[in-house]
Structure 1
Amino acid sequence: MGTQAMADDNPDTPTPEPSPLVITEDMLASPSAPTPPLIDFERGMCWTPAMTLGLSVLNICFFIPVFLAEKPEQILDVFLKTALIREKVLAGEIWRMITSMFMHVDLSHLLGNMAALYIVGMACEHAFGPWQTVLVFLLAGLCGGFVSLLVHPGPSVGASGAIFGVLGCAVGFFWRHRRVVHLRDKRIGLALFAWAGYQIVIGVMEPMVDNAAHVGGLVAGLVIGCLLRPRLLAGLEPSHAVPTAMQNSG
């Protein structure tokens, strides 16, 4: 203690230089990753989606024999030739997997499904393109028909299973790309979810509704929407970016 005190009191004793501070990488603030611009989903959306309207026309054409039938026996004969019936499919009539998804029981059944197809098809066609939308419709319809055959023997007709698939594909797209896609009018999504929920609830309450096809098509569409490469993102241009003010508005 005494020796140290004497050294400190001596003014001629040099003060030791502080050792230099070594700056390492972990001491540096990492630059924040740039926030990618959001894509304005509605920008450039076509209100007359060609393939969606084409699928609607095809559904209408399949309904013409039912609409023109004068006797119940004639309507029944059309359904027996086109409907999804497990016994017939197992006997080799595989084409029923396709024809059944374009047939409808009555006009209200047809119009309700075509209205839903127009909305979900427009969104799906804008995101993935026309041919991929048709592919989603057919694959989801086939998956819905397959699940339907597993659950009950039939007969079953209607495009709702395929439409649920197109809806699921759009939902899968928005979920997977939620960080880069901005949907301005979220009421469309709410309306679609309300329609899907209504259809499933009705299917639970009404034994004549093929809920198995709905669920099968929806799940298939969700999977396809998460795996399929969107056309909209492949051709991203700066003009499609959402302004900062719009991004913050939510």
Structure 2
Amino acid sequence: MKANYMDKVYTALIEKQNYAPVIDNNGQRIQYEGMRIVQKILEGKFILVELLDADCLSGEQIMKKLEANRSNLAKMGSPSVFAFQVFIFNSEPDEGKMQLIKQGQMEDVYLKKYLPCISVDLENRKVNKLYDLPIQTEGLENILNLMLGLDVVNADVMNDNDIRINTERLGESEGPPNFLAKVPYVTYCLMIINIAIWLVMNIYARIKNIDVSNLFIPFGAKENFSIMSGEYWRFITPIFLHADLEHLFANSLSLFVFGRIVEGMYGHKKFTFIYLAAGVIGNVASFMFSTYSGVGASGSIFGFFGALLYLWVENPAAFRRYFGNNILIMIVINLAYGFASPGIDNFAHVGGLIGGFLTSGIVKLKGVSNKLLGRSVFIAATIIVVILGLYYGFNNSRNRDYYIERGKYKELVEMADSGKWKEAEKLGEEIINMRPERNDIKLSTLYNIAAAEASQGKYDEALETAESVKKVDAPKGYYLRGLLYLDTKQYELARQELNEAVKLNPEYKEEVDQYLKQIEEELR
């Protein structure tokens, strides 16, 4: 009879009052024969209800339990805590036990910690509040009475009326205090996928007798030239690649620790969206600011931190209750370590952190009345961040020069070496129109254009191109024009240009002297 009553109350509190069961680190509900525990987080308050089989407890056990609870409450952090103890008796409670229960209650207004007790007499169908505290939880009392078969007022009430704070569960599922999903299967699946891909790459590398690092780009690493060439899928594939065993282990451990927390908070589908979106935004950030190729799930891992930061914004009381300042300190330390250590793509970390925060605001833990935290605000912010990030990434000089050097400039040199002057001239002009910032690329490209034009007999155009060289490097421009005039047998003009080149840069003297000697011989 008693176990049945406890189960009914336990279920009703979860279904009708938005309580959630407390679970252990293995994802199992903490539920014993003589005890059931549920909890819920309010805005700034934490409510705990323990259903206890009082007949199985001696007076000394009741006294020690309440004493331990008072001690634990005194050590807890800043949120207000109401830890209701419901002692359930088969019949009229023993007066000695009742006295101990009443004496064991706690009311600390300064610490905002309360330990109110309620007794239930199943035989006589009585529910008695044993505290004189100025609080009433009609929802809890109604459920206790309802399960006894008594008439109650507003049995389906969804608020704790005298506490007067709306309560909504933190996540899609029944979120426990440690935020661990009962079965975080998405986290485990992601770990398996990462490990499997790492094994495939390493086995393949061993079979082919090649270094596994040679497989990163073919397998989908973030590589700016490839992205600018149209391989946009490289924003997502790096999330599943890892450089070495140490890299894989570190990210797998972080995924195991923080993934279970975030998956427990947001639920499986939302968690998957946050993980992938944060990884993509992290790779967009890396694409914007780094030309180095990159692999790893670090952007997604930092997305978890962003998701926890969103909890800090949406429900600061719950954040302080379960994390305190630990997460903030951890984020700062990880970012500082990333900036101080060579070889770490901290741009992806920062991007993942921002991405995790923004996408958490899209999927949300619960409804938020504050318009600044509305879903539409976060959707708009995410779209703006991604669009601006991609625009900057595809148009900044760093990526543009990298793309030119790795692709079109390399092709230009090959065309010039093979004497394809018409094609070289056209490609060179295309490169200049892309406005490269690096002077070495500009100069070399203009030189190849001038050579292509001269080789086709377009000396007037070649001289104009050489004039453009002067704007980048004046000595080289004069030197090039001197050679063009020499080639067209305009010796006096050639001599003037070459002498000017030596004046501006004496390093040309040895070569210019040879050309001047040639000019003197031609003029005799």
The normalised TM-score by structure 1 is 0.69
Question: Can you list the C-alpha shifts for 1:96-124, whole angstroms capped at 9, x where unaligned?
Answer: 22221111111111111111112221121
- How many Å separate the matches in 2 of 1:72 and 1:216? 36
Could you say which residue in structure 1 is the equivalent of 2:215? 78
Matched, 1:155 2:304: no
Residue 194 of structure 1: CA displacement? 4.9
- How many Å separate the matches in 2 of 1:224 and 1:99? 19
2:253 to 85, 92, 115: 115
Summarize the alignment of residues 16-31 of structure 1 with structure 2, pairs less than 5 Å apart: none
Q: Give the letter for the 1:104 counterpart.
A: H
Residue 184 of structure 1: CA displacement? 5.4
Q: Which moved more, 1:136-145 or 1:169-178?
A: 169-178
Could you say which residue in structure 2 is the equivalent of 1:169? 307
- How many Å separate the matches in 1 of 2:179 and 2:303? 24
Could you say which residue in structure 2 is the equivalent of 1:21? none
Q: 1:170 to 1:209 in 2, by over 3 A?
A: same
Question: Can you list the C-alpha shifts for 1:40-88, whole angstroms capped at 9, x where unaligned?
Answer: 7427833540111111111112211343333883312211212101000
Confirm or deny: 8 A CA contact 1:164 1:214 kept in the other structure. Answer: yes
Residue 141 of structure 1: CA displacement? 0.7
1:210 to 345, 351, 359: 345
- How many Å separate the matches in 2 of 1:134 and 1:205? 31
- How many Å separate the matches in 1 of 2:178 and 2:345? 36
- How many Å separate the matches in 2 of 1:33 and 1:76? 60
2:164 to 17, 34, 45: 34
2:278 to 137, 140, 144: 140
- How many Å separate the matches in 2 of 1:211 and 1:182? 25
- How many Å separate the matches in 2 of 1:194 and 1:109? 22
Confirm or deny: 8 A CA contact 2:310 2:360 kept in the other structure. Answer: yes
Q: 1:86 to 1:219 in 2, by over 3 A?
A: same
Summarize the alignment of residues 156-235 of structure 1 with structure 2, pairs less than 5 Å apart: 156-179=294-317, 181=318, 185-186=322-323, 190=326, 192-230=327-365, 233=366
Q: Give the letter for the 2:301 counterpart.
A: I
Q: Give the letter for the 1:215 counterpart.
A: V
Gaps of at least 5 residues in structure 2 are: 1-161, 170-174, 368-524
Secondary structure at the aligned position of 2:192 is classed as helix
Secondary structure at the aligned position of 2:232 is classed as coil
Q: 1:38 to 1:130 in 2, by over 3 A?
A: closer
Percent of aligned pairs with the same amino acid: 26
Q: Larger Rg: 1 or 2?
A: 2
- How many Å separate the matches in 1 of 2:214 and 2:165? 60
Q: Which has the higher contact order (CA 8 A, sep 6+)?
A: 1
Matched, 1:88 2:263: no
Q: Give the letter for the 1:120 counterpart.
A: F
- How many Å separate the matches in 2 of 1:229 and 1:196? 21
1:46 to 178, 181, 187: 181
Summarize the alignment of residues 236-247 of structure 1 with structure 2, pairs less than 5 Å apart: none
Q: CA RMSD in A?
A: 2.8
2:197 to 53, 56, 62: 62
- How many Å separate the matches in 2 of 1:152 and 1:184? 38
- How many Å separate the matches in 2 of 1:63 and 1:118? 17
- How many Å separate the matches in 2 of 1:43 and 1:193? 17
Q: Which moved more, 1:141-150 or 1:44-53?
A: 44-53
Q: 1:61 to 1:35 in 2, by over 3 A?
A: same
Q: Give the letter for the 1:80 counterpart.
A: I
Question: Can you list the C-alpha shifts for 1:191-217, whole angstroms capped at 9, x where unaligned?
Answer: x54543343222212231000000011
- How many Å separate the matches in 2 of 1:102 and 1:41? 29
Q: 1:207 to 1:184 in 2, by over 3 A?
A: same
Confirm or deny: 8 A CA contact 2:178 2:261 kept in the other structure. Answer: no
- How many Å separate the matches in 2 of 1:72 and 1:145? 30
Confirm or deny: 8 A CA contact 2:311 2:319 kept in the other structure. Answer: no
